[in-house]
Amino acid sequence: MAEDQYEPQSLDITPDGLHIVWKDGVESLLPHRYLRGHCGCAQCVDEMTRARRVGVEDVPSDVTVEDCLEMGRYAVGLLFSDLHETGIYPYKLLRELGGGAG
């Protein structure tokens, strides 16, 4: 089982981004474009060099998270309005992106 700091109590898509309440009480709000620009899939990050191909500055400013699908007990898959859907976002990464890790 994940540590409370990496286990979400709730995940909600809001007009401002993905709002997460973690089991340890910390809250994170991750803006849509910021999340899309931190996707770790093979289209966005080179599998061999790990060089980022798509970053926040490459994402249209009006992109939004349209749907969120839990992937087991460790991650979520996000569908964006630009139809990008191949990224898996581990809860640990989301916590780090939200500035509440550790």
What contacts 74, CB < 8 A, 6 or more positions away?
Answer: 2, 90, 91
pTM of the entire structure? 0.90
Distance CA 54, CA 60 (A): 11
Domain ranges across the chain: 4-97
For residues 32 and 102, the answer to whether their CB atoms sit within 8 Å is no
The CATH number of 4-97 is 3.30.2020.30
User: What is the dihedral angle through the alpha carbons of 13, 84, 91, 26, rounded to the nearest 10 degrees?
Assistant: -30
**Chain segment 27-56, per-residue pLDDT in tens:** 999 999 999 999 999 999 999 999 999 999
Taking 70 as the pLDDT cut, the residues of the chain under it are 1-2, 100-102
